[in-house]
Structure 1
């Protein structure tokens, strides 16, 4: 047994190659980022917010002269940035619980660090706006990533921390806690969006599946129409002149009779052997039949089910080579039914012997000389 036409065992395809990766399947809610929080627009928006954070913090704290305060403020901003990166960088639409815990701790710690870095003697209300706004942004993204409980826990803890800071600074607990209160209306809206998300996903997925099904139906209709058009064109080009001469009571000569039979055989090939259909195969089969070779092409659908165009091209090249080399006898090329180890075979029975060429499911092309089909 030898291998030919490259003789390689390649092109192995697994069900995963055809169906796609399971972790990207749209039916998995965790794989659908409904709000697009990992998009480039969100990342750019976060970058613009960080720049605004710095500008407002520097402008509001222009009178602060303690480098310790500025280092603390910078560390708080960095902690907010890490928390936002954890949320945005998570795969899918639901932040893992350990990451949500870490983000909650980071935002509360970042707010505490930012507040306690503000000197009381130069304090202005505007100085608390950047860290509280950052807390609101990160908590909202965490809620939209299907972790609203963690977002609310973080917001409540941040209010407690702000209240304790107010007491420590001499402002009182209510005055300290109220700087975080505008975070809660935003969280309410984010939570409502999260509660509405599952029904929205179901509807979006149903619409997507309907759109895909409609596109497939339209594509199949176009393919069928194109196939009918091609068959009619071949019929018009090959059979119409013969039929017209028959209508005109033309007396056919020997060569014309041969051409008519070759035309009939070629039209049959286009109907019952679509997998072998190509200009090279048609031309080689026509010439082989003119030399007296019997050519039988059959297609039982294995290549259509496989969807492997490279294997189909290899088989056509192999068949063309056999057709061009044949001088007598019979060539039978068959694409077998789906589900078999062998997907196609070419049997050559001539005066020099009998050979059988097989293409197996794993892509190997093998020749068995001296065997019968």
Structure 2
């Protein structure tokens, strides 16, 4: 399967092999050719190990087999190089300059085939950097700098490739940081898009619920409104009562739809027909209540309204963690009492399973 990772791995293999093969193209005889070949082979083994070796991922985090793994941050990005492989790369950065310099002898240490390790170790440290071992990569560059300066002098080391290797590693680190930031921004944007889609969906659902509630209320209020228009507002007492009931029903459907079922609607209408003023407010707290618990709450509310005799009844949902709905009834004070209405009904309907407040 051709993927971004496979292409980059292939390029890494080809480039490091090219740099290493330069060390085998001898233009002059070397004192220790066997040491050169051994150094060349060890370098390729360590480099290709750093390119291809990956710890076996946990089954729950393994990506699908048919999905390309992009070079980005996170579990789908470059897998962190195991420490033992990173240490092997660091040992290679320390040993290769010394081994090559000893193998070619003092006279050939600045020859083209003897300086291949400047680019080779630089490429290896770039791989280590991409595999998310930055401290090992920079330590390897420092070891390369010390080894090359010791064996060929600072002028030759700097002019023959040491600066370029350090620049490669710095560029790899900057590129990796940029890709990590882009991946984080992409993930954050995807999360915001999901949140926006969820909010839009919830708003669409609420709009549909409001349309249904308005239509249901207009079924009751429509005839009264038509009658009021037809008579220019001249209604008899029965029609006025029906208008007040319809208005209350419309307010209930708009302000407290989660509290309503057929039984509660019937008790609210009965209370209004006997002359009581009823206010229903859903101020939150029931959004996460499941339908069965909501049915229990509505049943208790209907029972409370059925027994109520108050002149004014206030029904409100409660944000309390144990109380679902609070019902308060007030009636005109009798003789000997203050002029203010007295509270003659107080009921807190608990959330099912929470129990009554003590």
Output the TM-score relative to the length of structure 2: 0.50
Q: Which has the higher contact order (CA 8 A, sep 6+)?
A: 1
